[in-house]
Structure formats: structure tokens, C-alpha cells
A and B are shown apart, each in its own frame.
Chain A
């Protein structure tokens, strides 16, 4: 019996190593072929990288919510993608009103602040309500139960917003200040991408300091380390969990506005794919680990924007950009197989044991 287990184990293991090897081979051969083909110049690659960084920093902001909630509750907040969607979708109407009144034109920075505040507030409210109604009563339930609840909540929220705002795409108003590009010698950088990268970096730095330096941050870390002992130390566990959802909601709302500014439209289903991607980013960096989520997000963004053209173009795959999402998911699977603790995620391995 034991021998049979060993045999089948080695069989599955070798299957996985073979698959992994094949994927690495595709990446290496594809990259070499693409580079030797010389179809893309340095400028193209630069564009890809900047786009990847912008995209990745948005993923990183969303991933923070996943990773913090996972750290504290040991569950994937599946509805986080809807928290991400709800803020910018609602703020879109504020932005349109501002644009109609001409305020957006005359006071773009103030208007942007208003848009951000509205989006973050809405996302936060949704996140807190979700925790209160759906998750808190199930905190001691078997593991599958809150997960299924989260999936249900996710679809409920999606179709709620569809019912409220309609099923079509809603265009975000143009903000003149963020359009156009800067010229850096021969290179051209879109303003919006720079703004996204800077804003996301600023917010992440602030959040990191908040978690590391303040009392609340310390308490949150204590609760995610051990709920019972934290409670014994006089920490309000429920309160800290709510605060975690508040932080996750705020960063998701902000990420949502950045996303909407970049793609210039919102939709009730817009959270789904970025949500899975951000989760991938969180896993990639090591779930439960805040700097890991940031790193994972940026890495995933780069991988996704460079990947299709770099790996697949050289192999003669037609329209490789269609396979962008597939590449991200394959990477998720590969990371989970070969390094389930993620790039920085040593902490979780101890905890799981």
C-alpha cells in the first residue's frame, strides 16, 4: 500500500514537474524567438513596462484587501471584487455631475478628491455591511460555509449594482489634466499611467506605515496572529476585523477609481477579472503578507503586459493578447504548485502547520 502511494505520488509529482518544465521551455524559447524576430523596438518594451507597472499597482491595491482579510479571518473574501466595483461605479455619477456643472473643468484636483472620497466611502460601506451581515455570523462555521457565502454575496452585489445602475457600460468623464503624454527624450509616457503608479505607490506606503507604526495597525497584526490571545490582551477583536474591512474597502475603492480613470469606463462586471488577478497577486506575494501583496501585484502586472507578446509572439500564436488572462491564471496555478507560500510568504507556512 505504502509503495503504491509513493509510486502514484512520484507519478503526479513528475507530471507536475514536466508541465512546469514545458511552460518554462515555452517561455524561454518564445522569448528568444520574439527577441530575435526584432518586431518590437525598445520603445515598445518601455510602453509595455509602464503599462504593466500601472496595471500592477492597481492589482496591488486590490490585493491588499484580499491579503489583509485572509490574514485576519483565514478566508478569501470573494466579494472583494465587488467592493472594488461598487466605489468607482457610484462615483461615476458624481463625476458626471461634476463634469456637467463645469466644476471638473475648473477645479480638476478638487473634483478628483471628491470622486476618490465618494468611491472610497461607498466601497467601505459595502465592505463593512458585508462583514456585518454575511461574515460575522459565520465566523465559527466550517470553512466551506463562509466561502460559499462570499461567492453568493459577490453575485448578489454584482446584480444589485446592475439593477441599480443598469447593465450597460458607463463612460467616465474625461479629465483634461490626465490626458496626453509627457515626452522623455525619445520616450512617450501617458500621464494617466504615471499618475496611477504614483498614487498607488503613495497609498501603499501610507498603508504600510499605518499597519507598522500605529497602535491600531499593531492591534490588527496581533489579531491576525492569534485572535484569542489578542482578545486576552484587551484588544477588541471584532473592532479590529471591522477596521480591516474598512482599510480593504478604502484601498479597493481608490484602486477602482484609478482603474476607471485608466480604462475610462465602468460596468457592473468590471470587478470580476481584476478581482481574480489581484487574488493571484496576493498569492504570488504570499497571502497574509502586506508587502508581498504589493510586490505580487506589480510583478503580475508586468508579467501580464509583457507576457503575451514576449512569450507567444515568437511562437507564431495568432493574436496573443487574447491569452493574457490565461497567462495570469497559469501563473497562479504554477505558483501555488511550486511555491505555495509565495515570494515573501514564509509566515503563513508556520501558521498553517
Chain B
């Protein structure tokens, strides 16, 4: 028998792809932009962390793809991949020192080169990069060779440290607001990032906990499952009660700035719940969803603002009109697209969204809705003697809206209508043959989705106190679509999780706002390629997608693999 030979081509390919991604991060400007924040103060910045993580991932992928299980081979291929990665970035460094890349690539600045070269100049920097590649590659290979439990503990611990570094602002503010907790701040943070002892102790703590939990976690959850039904019930009740308390107290805990972030998350979550009905349940891809948000906001503005001087209603008087306007718009825009499917629907709704924005911006409707200047002086909501002004107060307004929408969608989902929506999503023709009234079902989906969006828009208008046409561009639609897809189409918790992750996180990382939509686009593509059901998938949806996958005759080789033997 022929001795198996070391397959060096595979890791080289993987390393080159990984290196290309690394160069991409550098040229797009992420490395430089991210280095304003340190993960561990003075030791590793966010930008360097980005490079390190992608390098580790590349090495890990190469290790996983090794055809033979010998340890040395695995290490060899991860080393090779790491070396390739380092080599690519070093190449960028060398090319950058010879040619003025900045004439084309705006981010290829001296600062970037300095960061990449660890501040040591081109030649030393290139050598250091190669060395870094080798080291990180070997580390990634070792990580792969570790037993599952150790690996889990290490990855988790590293993840927590990175998250703590990225979200340091949030943590600092939160801890700082609570006297006794401020001690944690002093221990954990210093300067631009985590302090060395803080990072080390966090790492050890998380690693230890994960390791311990992986041993005893299943025992514990088994014991819980063996509790008598009454005991389980109380336990769940306590859990829910705790959750409610936390949700109610959140703005007080988090303070002003973070409450503002929360209200934005809430506005998007409310829209997400609406789009979830249209896309998640009824399966109609609506890219003009921002139109209904705009209609809600503009109705609120036009009816309440004394500036235009038509009605000057109060917030609560105008709110039902805003929602009804949304529903009407949903039906009116829904009728023309009743017979369209999939792609056509997407592009037509996109067109609708643009039409609404163009009309809002035009001089044509200026006397009624203010044209490019928008509408100002929209009053706040008043309950009794309390006026909802600060974000901490508006949070409760949005919370009520979200709860209402969440409750309605939860009840609708398993109702006759909800099942009809899902049937339409699966197969329109079969659904029609089963006696489902397609027209009514689809229009109700549009109307329901539009109602939530209009409600969200009305609250948004009152929150800002003004509306401008520029707030209602297609990016809002994409944002909402992205959050329900990442969260998991059709799932209500998915929408909340998606909103928190895709709206909350970017709001917390405002200084990197430039890369928000880059990340969204990548998230959509990766999500569809890797996990089309989303982070928090709905049960039926997951089953369908799995079935669709098993139908596939042969799994496609992933990117970087040879197409055929």
C-alpha cells in the first residue's frame, strides 16, 4: 500500500483565502478603526484581535480539513495555513511600502502599516507577521487537538474576554452606576481596555466555570427535570417573575444613554415583530417595509404637529389614526402584489418603499407633510400627569407596544389564521386547494405587519419629536429584515434576540458605525449559507429547512476545496 502523503495544497489554499480576508479587513479600514479600543490595555487592540481571531480560525479550519489524523500532520497544516495568512498580510506591508496604495485604497494609511508591522518598520514587521502566523497556526492546531471539553472552556473564556473588551463602555457605565459594583470596574478595566489582571481573572473564571459546568451541568439539569411537576411550575414562575422585574427595572439599572439604546432596540423589535408576520409566517419577502413605518410616523406628525396646523391632536388621539393609516396602506399596497411571488414581490415592495420616500421628499406633497424639511414639534405622549420625555420613560411606552405586538403575534401564530399563513408560505397552490382564501390571508398578513410598523413609526415620531424623509430609507427595511433573519424567521424570541444583537450592538459601538452594513451584509450571506434557520429558529421552520437540505443530493464542497477529485 502506498504511504499517504502530506497534502500541503489544502492548507495553503485555506491559508490564502484566510489571508485574503485578513488583507480585506486591513484595506477596508477595520483594523485601523478598531484599534482605537484595546481589548487588553496596552497589549492587544480590537484591530489586532480581529486579525488574531481570523488567523486562528484559518488555522483551525486547516487543521479540521487534514485528511490524516496524525497529530503532527494536523499541526503541520494549521502551521502552514497560519504562515500563509501571515505571508499575505506581510505581502500587503511590503507592497504598501513600495507603492503608494493610498492613491486608490483610502484606508491604506501609514497608521495601518504601523499597526500591521507592530510598529517595527517594514522588514522586521513582515518577519514578525510570519512568526505570528506560525505561532497562531500552531496554537490553532493545538486547540483542535484538545479534547472537546477543554476546547470549549478555552474558546468560551477567550470569547468572554473579547466581549468584555468590546463592550467595555456598556460594562463600565453599568458597573459605575452601582456603588458597590464600581470595585469591579477598578479591577477589570484600565485605560483603553481590560487590565491585565482583570483579563486574566476573567479568563480563568470563565474557563473554570465552563469546564466545571460541562461536567456537572447535565447532572444538574437532570435533577431539575426529576423535580415534581409542582416544583417545576414554581421554578418556572419564579423565573418569569424575575425576568419581568428585570425588564421593568432595566432603564433604572442602565441609566440614560443605555436606555436610549434600549428604546431604539424596541422600535426595531416592534417593526421586526410586524415584518415577522409578513416574511416569517406568510413567507412574502417585503423590502419596502419602511414605507409603513414612515406612514405611521408621518400620520402622527401631520395630525399632532402645531407647525402644520391641521389638527393638533394629542399623541393618544392620533395613535389610532396612525395605526389605521398603516393598515390601510398595507391593504392598498398589498392588493397589487397579491399575485406576485418571491423575487417579483421583493422588488416591487422595494419600489413601493422608494415611492413613499420620494413622495415624502417631494415638493408636490410639501404643504401637507413638509417636504425635505419634515415635520417638527410633535408632542410627547402624556398619561395622567406624566409626560414621556426622557428615554427612560419612553422605554415603557415602547415596551407596552412590544408586549402588545408580541402577545398578538404569539396568539396569532397557532391560530387558524397563523396556520393559513404558514400554509401559504409552504405552497400557495396547495393552500388554495385546501380552501384557504389566498386574498384575505395575504392581505391580513400585510395589514397586520403594517399595523405594527405604523405603531412603531408613531412612537418613533413622538420619541424624536420630528420626522424627516431621510430617516426612512431602504436601509431601515434591510435592517429589520436582517434582524428577523439572524434571529430566526417566524420566531418571536428570535426577533427580540435579533433586535438586541443587530440594533443594540451597533448602537453601543457607534464609533464603528461605518462597518455596520458591511457586517449586516456578511451576516445575511453567512447566515443563509451556514444556518438558514437563524439563531433562535422556530420549530417547524427548522424542520423544513433540514428536510430541504437532506434532499440535496451531494453536499457542495465548501469554498477553497477542490471542485472535483
Interfacial residues, chain A to chain B (CB-CB below 8 A): 1, 4-5, 8-9, 12, 15-16, 19, 70, 75-76, 78, 93, 97, 132-134, 136-138, 140-149, 151-160, 162-167, 272, 276, 279-280, 283, 317-320, 322-323, 325-326, 329-330, 332-333, 336-337, 340
Contact: B515 with A163, CB < 8 Å?
A: yes
A278 to B261, CA, bound (A): 38
B460 CB to closest chain A CB (Å) equals 22
A158→B355 contact, CB < 8 A: no
Contact B348 A5 (CB under 8 A): no
Which residues of B come within 8 Å of A, CB atoms? 24, 27-30, 103-107, 283, 285, 287, 335-340, 342-344, 346-348, 350-352, 354-355, 358-359, 361-364, 366, 435, 437, 439-440, 474, 478, 481-482, 485, 514-515, 517-518, 520-525, 527-529, 532, 544-545, 548-549, 551-553, 556, 558-559
Chain A residue contacts of B354, Cβ below 8 A: 276, 325-326, 329
Knowing A9-B439, A163-B515 are in contact, say whether A336-B358 is a contact too (CB < 8 A).
Answer: no
A-B contact pairs, 7 of them (CB 8 A): A12-B335, A19-B336, A141-B528, A148-B285, A148-B481, A152-B525, A280-B351
Is the Cβ of B528 less than 8 Å from the Cβ of A149?
Answer: yes
- CA separation between A302 and B101, bound complex, in Å? 42
Closest chain-B Cβ to A91's Cβ sits at a distance in Å of 11
Once the chains are docked, how many angstroms separate the CA of A193 from the CA of B340? 36
Q: Pick the contact of A317: B364, B481, B532 (CB < 8 A).
A: B364
Q: Is the CB of B521 within 8 A of A147?
A: no
User: Among the listed A4, A8, A9, A276, which residue makes an inter-chain contact with B350, where contact means beta carbons less than 8 Å apart?
Assistant: A276
Residues of chain A contacted by B352 (CB below 8 angstroms): 329, 333
Nearest A residue to B356 via CB reads A326
Min distance, Cβ A285 to any Cβ of chain B, angstroms: 15
Complex Cα spacing A332 to B352, Å: 10
Question: How distant is the Cα of A134 from the Cα of B525 in the complex, in angstroms?
Answer: 7
A158, B517: Cβ atoms under 8 Å? yes
Q: Does A326 lie within 8 Å of B347, measured CB to CB? A: no
Contact B343 A159 (CB under 8 A): no
Minimum CB–CB distance for B305 against chain A, Å: 22
Q: Which residues of A contact B525 (CB under 8 A)?
A: 134, 149, 152-153, 156
Check A159/B521 contact, CB under 8 A, given A138-B529, A319-B362: yes
Q: Given A151-B478, A322-B358: A332 and B351 within 8 A (CB)?
A: yes
| With contact pairs A147-B342, A326-B354, A329-B352 given, residues A140 and B551 touching in the complex (Cβ less than 8 Å) | yes
- Residue from A16, A146, A152 in contact with B335 in the complex, judged by beta carbons closer than 8 Å: A16
Chain B's nearest CB lies how many Å from the CB of A122? 12
Find out whether the CB atom of A137 lies under 8 angstroms from the CB atom of B529: yes
* CA A221 to CA B552, docked complex, whole Å: 25
- Summarize A's interface: helix, strand, loop or mixed: helix
Name the residue on A nearest B548 (C-beta).
Answer: A142
Inter-chain contacts of B344 with A (CB < 8 A): 283, 336, 340
Q: Given A144-B342, A276-B347, A318-B363, do A15 and B335 touch, yes or no (CB 8 Å)? A: yes
- Compute how far the CA of A283 lies from the CA of B347 in the bound complex, rounded to whole angstroms: 10
Residues of A within 8 A of B351 (CB): 276, 280, 329-330, 332-333
Q: Nearest chain-B residue to A133 (Cβ)?
A: B559
Nearest chain-A residue to B555 (Cβ)?
A: A137
B336 near A337: Cβ-Cβ < 8 Å: yes
Q: How far is the CA of A8 from the CA of B528 in the complex (A)?
A: 37
Distance of A183 Cα from B197 Cα, bound (Å): 79
| A336 neighbours in B (Cβ, 8 Å) | 336-337, 340, 344, 348
B105/A165 in contact, CB under 8 A: yes
Closest chain A residue, CB of each to CB of B350: A276
Q: 5 additional contacts, CB 8 Å, given A140-B552, A148-B285, A340-B340? A: A75-B343, A76-B343, A155-B517, A163-B514, A326-B354
Contacts of A138 in B (CB 8 A): 528-529
Given contacts A147-B342, A318-B363, A322-B358, contact A1 B435 (CB under 8 A): yes
Q: Give, as a whole number of angstroms, the nearest-CB distance from B193 to chain A.
A: 24
Once the chains bind, are A8 and B362 in contact (CB under 8 Å)?
Answer: no
**CB of A67, distance to nearest CB on chain B (Å):** 12
| A322 in contact with B362 given A4-B437, A15-B335 (CB within 8 Å) | yes
Once bound together, how far apart are the Cα atoms of A137 and B351, in whole Å?
A: 29
Smallest Cβ-Cβ distance to B523: which chain A residue? A152
Cα–Cα, bound, A167→B528 (Å): 28
Which A residues lie within 8 Å of B518 (CB)? 155-156, 159-160, 162-163
Q: How far is the CB of A206 from chain B (nearest CB, A)?
A: 28
Q: Which of A146, A151, A159, A318 makes the CB contact (< 8 A) with B481?
A: A151
Our pick among A8, A76, A133, A322 for the contact of B346 (Cβ within 8 Å) is A76
Q: A5-B437, A149-B529, A276-B347 are in contact. Are A155 and B524 (CB under 8 A)?
A: yes
A326 near B28 with CB under 8 A, answer no
CA distance A157 to B524 in the complex (A): 12
Asked whether B106 lies within 8 Å of A166 as measured between CB atoms, the reply is: yes
Who on chain A is nearest to B526 by CB? A152
List of B residues within 8 angstroms of A15 by Cβ: 335
Pair B520/A152 contact, Cβ less than 8 Å: yes
Closest 10 CB pairs of A and B: A152-B524, A156-B521, A163-B28, A329-B351, A155-B521, A159-B518, A166-B106, A76-B343, A152-B525, A318-B363
Q: Specify the chain B residue showing the minimal Cβ separation from A5.
A: B437
A5–B439 alpha-carbon span in the complex (Å): 8
Q: Which residues of B contact A148 (CB under 8 A)?
A: 285, 481, 485, 524, 528
Distance A163 CA – B481 CA, assembled complex (angstroms): 23
Question: Quick check: B528 and A152 within 8 Å, CB to CB?
Answer: yes
Bound-state Cα–Cα, A167 to B340, Å: 36
A144 touches B283 (CB 8 A): yes
> In the complex, A137 Cα to B527 Cα: how many Å?
13
Q: Is the CB of A151 within 8 A of B524?
A: yes
Judge whether A163 and B27 touch: CB under 8 Å.
yes
Other-chain contact of A8, B29, B366, B439 (Cβ < 8 Å): B439
If A279-B347, A332-B347 touch, does A322 touch B521 (CB 8 Å cutoff)? no
Whether the pair B358, A12 counts as a contact (CB closer than 8 A) is no
- B485 and A141 form a contact (CB under 8 A): no
Please name all residues of chain B whose beta carbon is closer than 8 Å to the beta carbon of A97 when the two chains form the complex.
103
Residues on A with beta carbons closer than 8 Å to the beta carbon of B343: 70, 75-76, 143, 147
Q: Which residues of B contact A149 (CB under 8 A)?
A: 524-525, 528-529
Which residues does chain A contribute within 8 Å of B363, judged by CB atoms?
318-319, 322
